[in-house]
Amino acid sequence: MMNRYVSNRSRNDSKRNTNISDRNNNFVFKRLLAITGIFDKNAIMKVFEVGGYTVNKSQIQRWKTIKESERKQTMPKEALNAFLNGLLILSEKGDLWVGFNIKLDDNP
């Protein structure tokens, strides 16, 4: 998978705008999910909760949408900040483990 991505990227670099400042919060959020490997919506909701922001599964789906569509909703910067803070807090507490598994409850 990684080799395919690298080869596609090198082939399309002249066409692809990878400057993050030109992207919106939805783009950044979707990339963070891919980088961390967090795909379970309950785990994503937990990260937001720890970061001090309440979300539901449909909001997560709308924020993961990058292309213009009826489903897309622009992610507020406060939500993206809360997600990043939640990731940091979980990491510092040891609840974000290598492999990016998230501890969903307080029971060992």
- One digit per residue, the tens of pLDDT, for the chain of length 108 reads 344 334 344 444 444 445 554 468 999 999 999 888 898 999 999 999 999 999 999 999 999 988 888 778 899 999 999 999 999 999 888 887 645 456 667 665
Q: What is the pLDDT of residue 67?
A: 81
Does a structural domain hold residue 17? no
Does a structural domain hold residue 76? yes
Does a structural domain hold residue 12? no
Total domains in the chain come to 1
Nearest alpha carbon to residue 57 among 68, 69, 70, 46: 46
Does a structural domain hold residue 34? yes
Task: Tokens for 26, please give them.
Answer: 């939805």
Q: What is the pLDDT of residue 77?
A: 94
The set of residues, in sequence order, having a beta carbon less than 8 Å from that of 51 and lying 6+ positions away, is 81, 82, 83, 84, 85, 86, 87, 89
Does a structural domain hold residue 9? no
Does a structural domain hold residue 72? yes
Does a structural domain hold residue 1? no
